[in-house]
Structure 1
């Protein structure tokens, strides 16, 4: 492979802001998939990830789509997604990261991925990373004119009113918000030079366990649950505490610790079958097989309020953020009924550049 921009590339990132900014921005939907920089030099294709580890072996159907649809020599930044009817399916996307080639090939046929392009870093022998975004976008549209599924060019607008409409509507198709990029922006690797605006909501959750911090001796994350049909379902974790607060939590949680897993609603975590079926908190990490996911059980009597952005099925899509304890709430009152459900929106409309 011999391109003007060579792998690995650390993708340009976005920092979170509260409101959609105005003036001199290009607005795009925020896709909820795997960030991917595609490198193509003839029949040589590499799919680079956000952490610079190749995704190539996991998505053979995307490699073939790149060869069919993208220019002969190019570097394109975008997102790998798995459409499932009218919505994105992030859980199906997660399943694609697997060591067995036979499973990868089977899932490539059963849950094929698509690629959504949103930036052009190189074309032919030309390095475009120091060109302004507005120019790169125009070149992207020209280079990928006429592409068809499973390759798409993301929708874009300069109209802030349209961006607000997308923010409200596209969540129903499983998207994550809106990204704002200055038209003059050069491509800056591993720099949070873009702006992202995501949905924020709150929920009251039962705290039924915790994990130790990797440094040891302090709390790393709280394990959160919500009730459904009388059973406490594991919905995710709350983390990102200052170190002083992590130490305080050890003492606050001590009175609730229990060794009686038989009576705990997540006592089945030790059973491998339960890991696969219900995503119990002791399940092995698909991303890091060596990561310690052991946990300490707590009697399910504490309630806390957390901030979250979106749900993926029955779980929080990302790590939730602890806001405060809620001693005024009964654990049994913490159900899925409190969660806001976005209005449905057809993913096909988003992919078509609506």
Structure 2
């Protein structure tokens, strides 16, 4: 299995918003931060920031991982939608479901995985590369593979005005 990072790269709160040159911003998601990994041998892992296995509670994401035709480690966030809003409570209701109960919940209210970083792909670690290189590789991967639901590419911008709108 591909090694997962010990800790995710976390956002840092600031008093006032500025976006320095060559920095990027992403929207804040109301979900569960998680690493999603799949290797060439077919092993998959969906692990929370706190190192808990989320695969059994979110079988639709684990199944989507198994279908990927490449090895990968994503950093992202599990989210659930309720009409036009994120529904954090839908995720918390699923945390302790297993087996048939988890499958029914996945069918009734499927989760999505918003990907905001690519840490490993096809045997190549990107973890030490600059964000801009990882982001380009992530966008290329989404486009080349035609990744769609439950995968979602997180928006990213270097434009401070766009980022301010997201904060609004």
Residue equivalent to 2:59: 60
CA–CA distance in structure 2, aligned partners of residues 99 and 158 of structure 1: 39
Quote how far apart the aligned CAs of 1:102 are: 2.7
In structure 2, how many angstroms separate the alpha carbons of the residues matched to 1:9 and 1:151?
23
Deviations 1:90-144 (Å, cap 9, x if unpaired)? Answer: 1111001115423212111111100110001111111111100010000011112
Runs of 4+ in 1 over 3 A off after TM superposition: none
For 2:5 and 2:140, the matched residues in 1 are separated by 25
Q: Which runs of 5+ in 2 are unaligned?
A: none
In structure 2, the partner of 1:10 is 7
Whole-Å separation in 1 of the counterparts to 2:135 and 2:38: 18
Match of 1:162 in 2: 162
Structure richer in strand, relative to its length: 1
Instruction: Extract unaligned runs of 5+ from structure 1.
Output: 169-354
Q: Deviations over 1:146-171 (max 9, x none)?
A: 21112111011110011111211xxx
| Alignment correspondent of 1:112 | 110
* Counterparts of 1:102 and 1:67, CA distance in 2: 19
- Distance in 2 (alpha carbons) for counterparts of 1:27 and 1:40: 27
In 2, distance between residues paired with 1:98 and 1:35? 17
TM superposition score normalised by structure 1: 0.45
SS of the counterpart of 1:65?
Answer: helix
Provide closer, same or farther for how the CA distance between residues 48 and 8 of structure 1 changes in structure 2, counting only shifts above 3 A: farther
Equivalences for residues 34-183 of structure 1 within 5 A: 34-42=32-40, 43-68=42-67, 70-145=68-143, 146-168=146-168
TM-score w.r.t. length of structure 2: 0.91
Is residue 29 from structure 1 mapped to residue 27 from structure 2 by the alignment? yes
Q: Which has the higher contact order (CA 8 A, sep 6+)?
A: 2
Could you tell me how far apart the structure 1 residues matched to 2:87 and 2:37 are?
25
Q: Over residues 246-297 of structure 1, what are the superposed CA-to-partner deviations in whole Å (9 max), with x where a residue is unaligned?
A: xxxxxxxxxxxxxxxxxxxxxxxxxxxxxxxxxxxxxxxxxxxxxxxxxxxx
Larger Rg: 1
Equivalent pairs, count: 164
**Is contact 1:71–1:144 with CA below 8 Å preserved after alignment?**
no
Output the CA distance in 1 between the equivalents of 2:105 and 2:7. 27
C-alpha change, 1:79 and 1:163, in structure 2 (3 Å) is same
Q: Does 1:20 align with 2:17?
A: yes
Pairwise CA distance, 1:32: 1.0
Paired residues of 2:112 and 2:151 also in contact (CA < 8 A): yes
The two structures, once aligned, show a CA RMSD in angstroms of: 1.5
Moved more, 91-100 or 135-144: 91-100
| Structure 2 counterpart SS, 1:29 | coil
Aligned counterparts of 2:131 and 2:5: Cα–Cα separation in 1: 21
